[in-house]
A and B are shown apart, each in its own frame.
Chain A
Amino acid sequence: MLDKKRLHKRAAFFQAIRFFFQSQGFLEVDTPIRQPLLIPEQNIVPVPSGTHFLQSSPELYMKRLLAAGCEKIFQVCRCFRYGERGRLHHEEFVMLEWYRLDADYTDLMLDCEGLFCFLQSEMADCTFPVPLHEPWERMTVAQAFQKYCSVSPARAIQQNRFDLLLVEEIEPHLGKEKPAFLYDYPLELASLARPKPGQPKLAERFELYVSGVELANGFSELTDPVLQRSRFEEEYAKMDAGSGRPEKMPELFLQDLGRIDQAAGIAMGMDRLFMLFLDCDSLGDAVTFSPEELDM
Chain B
Amino acid sequence: MLSASDLRKGLKILIDGAPYIITHFEFSKPGKGQSLYRCKMRNMITGNQFSQTYRSNEKFEKPALEERKMQYLYNQGDEYHFMDTENYEQTFITKEQLGDNISFLQDNMELDVLFFDEKPIDVTLPIFVNLVVTVADPWAKGDTSGNDTKPVTVETGYVLQVPPFVVEGDKIQIDTRTGAYVTRVKE
Q: Could you give 7 example pairs across A and B, Cβ below 8 Å?
A: A41-B32, A164-B36, A167-B28, A167-B29, A167-B30, A168-B53, A217-B32
Residues in chain A within 8 A of chain B (CB atoms): 41, 43-44, 83-89, 162-164, 166-168, 171, 189-190, 207, 214, 217
Q: Given the complex, which residues of A lie within 8 Å of B28, measured CB to CB?
A: 86, 88-89, 167
State which of B26, B30, B33, B36 has its C-beta within 8 Å of the C-beta of A87.
B26
Q: Does B31 contact A (CB under 8 A)?
A: yes
- Other than the known A43-B35, A87-B26, what 15 A-B pairs have Cβ atoms closer than 8 Å? A41-B32, A43-B29, A43-B32, A83-B5, A163-B36, A164-B53, A166-B30, A166-B33, A167-B29, A167-B53, A168-B53, A189-B33, A207-B30, A214-B31, A217-B32
Residues in chain B within 8 A of chain A (CB atoms): 5, 26-36, 38, 53, 55
CB atoms of B31 and A207 under 8 A apart: yes
Q: Given the complex, which residues of A lie within 8 Å of B29, measured CB to CB?
A: 43, 84, 89, 163, 167
State which of A167, A171, A189 has its C-beta within 8 Å of the C-beta of B32.
A189
- Once the chains are docked, how many angstroms separate the CA of A89 from the CA of B30? 11
What 6 A-B pairs come out closest when comparing CB atoms? A86-B27, A163-B33, A217-B31, A163-B34, A166-B30, A167-B28
* Residue of B with least CB distance to A269: B31
A contact face: mostly helix, strand, loop, or mixed = mixed
CB atoms of B31 and A84 under 8 A apart: no
State which of B26, B27, B32, B55 has its C-beta within 8 Å of the C-beta of A84.
B27
- Once the chains are docked, how many angstroms separate the CA of A44 from the CA of B38? 18
- Once the chains are docked, how many angstroms separate the CA of A164 from the CA of B36? 7
CB atoms of B30 and A214 under 8 A apart: yes
- Once the chains are docked, how many angstroms separate the CA of A163 from the CA of B33? 6
- Once the chains are docked, how many angstroms separate the CA of A43 from the CA of B36? 11
* Residue of A with least CB distance to B53: A164
- Once the chains are docked, how many angstroms separate the CA of A89 from the CA of B37? 12
CB atoms of A43 and B26 under 8 A apart: no
Q: Given the complex, which residues of B lie within 8 Å of A83, measured CB to CB?
A: 5, 35
- Once the chains are docked, how many angstroms separate the CA of A216 from the CA of B55? 23
A270 nearest CB across to chain B (Å): 15
Q: Given the complex, which residues of B lie within 8 Å of A217, measured CB to CB?
A: 31-32
B50 nearest CB across to chain A (Å): 15
Q: A84 and B35 in contact (CB under 8 A), knowing A43-B29, A168-B53?
A: yes
- Once the chains are docked, how many angstroms separate the CA of A84 from the CA of B33? 12
CB atoms of A43 and B27 under 8 A apart: no
CB atoms of A167 and B31 under 8 A apart: no
